[in-house]
Structure 1
Amino acid sequence: MPSRMLENPLVLPILGLLAERSMHPYLIEMTLRERSPSNGWPVNRGSLNSVVSALNTAGWVEKAPAEKGTPASTRTVYALTSSGFEELGRRVVLQIRDTTPEFSRFLGAAGYLGAVERAAALDALDARLRSLEESIAALTQSYDAALADGLPRLTMIETEGALQARAAERDWVESVLLDIRSGELEWTTKVEIRQ
């Protein structure tokens, strides 16, 4: 198993879920999808199984003993090892401290907003604004329901952060739309095609 598999972004949430309880990969996949609509983990069964296998090879997870009376054909359940728990803590601290900018396809495209006509830019930004507002509403509902069900705020801190980030983006998109419509953001479309 290539060591680069241990750099997969799924490593941290898999270790985190296994810190809660032992699980088989399919349950890990379903739990990630259910709990993390805010971050869009790149989850597919093939990559998840490869990551779990790499974690097993690294000694961070191990196959949990089968329960008595369980058929041998049931799914393999994995448990976090003590070295896996240490790795989880190391990664949490490392990733919280890391301020390396992450590429944003949206901001990459926004840098070339002047390459399209004003009406097309307004249309695209309006669509993004609506999408952000819908996303914020859905996340807020999910967040509030989880807290109402008694989930501690600390377990929902990721969703809280995602809500704050989306709200900030929504506010910025809204201000850009206002500036375009008011003329404060001067619109010039100059695209040079080099031959």
Structure 2
Amino acid sequence: MAAELTPLAISVLALLKEEPMHAYEMYQLLVKRHTHWLVKVRPGSLYHTVERLARLNYVRATGTERAGNRPERTTYELTPEGDDALTRRVETGIEEYVHEYPLFPVVLSEAHNLDAEDAVLRFRSRIVDLERWVTEIDGALAGAQERQVPEVYWMGGDYLRTQLISERDWLATTIERIESKDLPWQPRNNP
């Protein structure tokens, strides 16, 4: 069953391993910790994930409260089955490589449909965007270090930073190769 856990479900179970909380609190904490850089976090999908985890008996409701005019909020806690599922999913996720299908390699494989100058312009634009992301991550990582958060808790951010820098550097080299004609660029065929 642990293989059924989505990245968001893993994050929810990990939060509940720390302490019981309600879904909105989970959402706020995931954003505060910048987990939304690693996992697609939206309030609706978070509530759906918590409900699914409850059906699987990985989490259970411990109570409902209402503060003022706010809607009722149900607090959840991790069950022993949820703790076991989290552990098993982290273990297999580390051990086993899973080939994913991100968009960028697909569009990169079709970049030959652009003129070389246009492709280079768009590569440069992507580099600027990548550098912005690296700067944001650097700030978050520096903040974690200043707060003396143990490195083991922000390794995911460091890994993401390393990936972004690698992509940026690869794109810069590719631009140099296109401009020096070391990478011959075939003109697109117009129908």
Q: Which residue of 2 aligns with 1:79?
A: 77
Partner Cα separation in structure 1 for residue 172 and residue 72 of structure 2: 52
Matched, 1:183 2:181: yes
Structure 2 unaligned spans of 5+: none
Partner Cα separation in structure 2 for residue 107 and residue 64 of structure 1: 45
Partner Cα separation in structure 2 for residue 140 and residue 164 of structure 1: 11
Q: Which residue of 2 aligns with 1:11?
A: 9
Q: Which residue of 1 aligns with 2:119?
A: 121
Supply the RMSD in Å over aligned alpha carbons. 2.2
Deviation of 1:37 after TM superposition, in Å, equals 4.0
Identity %: 25
User: Given the superposition, is the C-alpha separation of residues 115 and 66 from structure 1 closer, same or farther in structure 2, using an over 3 Å criterion?
Assistant: closer
Give the structure with the larger strand fraction: 2
Q: For each residue in 1:30-88, what CA deviation from the matched residue of structure 2 results, as whole angstroms up to 9, or x when unmatched?
A: 2222221432x222222221211111121111112468xx88x6411111111111111
* 8 Å Cα contact 2:134-2:165 kept in structure 1: yes
Partner Cα separation in structure 2 for residue 74 and residue 114 of structure 1: 54
Q: Which residue of 2 aligns with 1:141?
A: 139
Partner Cα separation in structure 1 for residue 110 and residue 177 of structure 2: 17
Instruction: Count the aligned residue pairs.
Output: 186
Alignment of 1:28-177 (within 5 A): 28-35=26-33, 36-39=35-38, 41-65=39-63, 74-177=72-175
Structure 1 unaligned spans of 5+: none
Q: TM-score, normalised by structure 2?
A: 0.89
* 8 Å Cα contact 2:131-2:168 kept in structure 1: yes
Q: For each residue in 1:133-181, what CA deviation from the matched residue of structure 2 results, as whole angstroms up to 9, or x when unmatched?
A: 1110110111011111110000001101111111111111111011111
Q: TM-score, normalised by structure 1?
A: 0.87
Partner Cα separation in structure 1 for residue 145 and residue 80 of structure 2: 30
Partner Cα separation in structure 2 for residue 60 and residue 12 of structure 1: 11
